[in-house]
Amino acid sequence: MEEKVPSPLVNTKPHLEKLTLGITRILEASPGVTKVQIIEKEPAERHMIASWELKNDCAMPEDLKNFYLMTNGFHMVWSVKLDDQPVPLGSLVINSISNLTQLTQSAVYTLPNSPTLEDLEDEEDEANEDRPEKPHFDARSVIFELDSCNGNGKVCLVYRRTSPVAKESKIWFLDRALYWHFLTDNFTSYYRLLITHMGLPQWQYAFTNYGVSPQAKQWFNMYKPITYNTAVLAEESDCFINKLDPSKVFKSKAKPAAPSQRGGTPHPPGSQKGSSSSSSTKPSSGNPARK
């Protein structure tokens, strides 16, 4: 079988330690983290890689090929304990070769005149010196899904169709609004990003113009990635750090002391206590001009 039952990494095997770059020990030492697990996968055979290349007319990058020869995909999850119950949080996924499928529109429920992904193409070319040309859903690009990101988008291996056999590939992130965001030039760099961000929810959005959500920022603040763009957390940091002081918020207000009853009926504030004082301050009647 390709996958084995996930097991806690109490006694980490040497090849798993090498595969995860030691991130498991960091997670297990973090407060609140529990159930750090890896689904072990057998190494892929060379004929599986050759079949994939022949089927898709694409040359698999050497670093990705070496990765699959070590393990046919990668799946690591970890949880945090909330109210004594483990809640899944981190997820690190690289699809296996069989699931490294081309990103196309399914024809199962497609109507004759329904729009396709190609109809959503934005013809504006946003390529510049710092960022390569964005992928296209038409024949100009060949796109494969590396990670579904738990429904928050898709990390894709993108080839430019420059020859009958596509060779040049890069890693891009496709968000839920079908906008492309460049991640890395090669698989090795992306894998390092995946490991150093520890599979935190929505970590790919840290490389977009609009950043991660407020809820994801809370998790970023609690379990900071090993390396990250400091602007993600530095910008508006006061907006998501909880500075609640229970001793001040729930401090009871002192009740006003009850008035003493020995001096008779208490007078309301602002009223005169006796007629003599009122008469002494009362101005004399008559026309002041006569004086």
Tokens linked to 128: 């510049």
Whether the Cβ atoms of residue 104 and residue 117 lie closer than 8 Å to each other: yes
Range among 4-8, 91-95, 234-238 with highest mean pLDDT value: 91-95
DSSP state of 134: P
Of 3.40.50.620, 3.40.1580.10, 3.40.50.460, 3.30.465.10, which CATH number belongs to 12-104+134-227? 3.40.1580.10
Q: For 129-155, how does the pLDDT look when each residue is reduced to its tens digit (9 = 90+)?
A: 566 788 988 888 999 999 999 999 999
Burial of 213 (0-12, 13-18, 19+ CB in 10 A): middle
Tell me which amino acid residue 90 is. G
Alpha helices in the chain (DSSP H): 14-20, 23-28, 46-56, 62-70, 187-196, 214-222, 230-234, 246-249, 275-281
Alpha carbon distance 165, 169 (integer Å)? 12
Measured between alpha carbons, how far is 238 from 245 in angstroms, rounded to an integer?
15
Number of other residues whose CB lies within 10 A of the CB of residue 178: 13
Taking only the tens place, the pLDDT of each residue in 162-172 is 788 888 899 99
| pLDDT tens digits along 85-100 | 888 999 999 999 999 9
Give the predicted TM-score (pTM) of the model.
0.69
If pLDDT is split at 50, 70 and 90, which confidence band does 257 have? low
pLDDT beyond 90 at 125: no
- The helix or strand, by DSSP H or E, that contains position 171, with its residue range, turns out to be strand 169-174
Long-range contacts of 167-170, Cβ-Cβ distance < 8 Å, separation of 24 or more? 167/58, 167/59, 169/58, 169/61, 170/132
How many Å apart are CA 79 and CA 27, to the nearest integer? 10
Q: Give pLDDT, residue 205.
A: 94
pLDDT tens figures, 44-79? 999 999 999 999 999 999 999 999 999 999 999 999
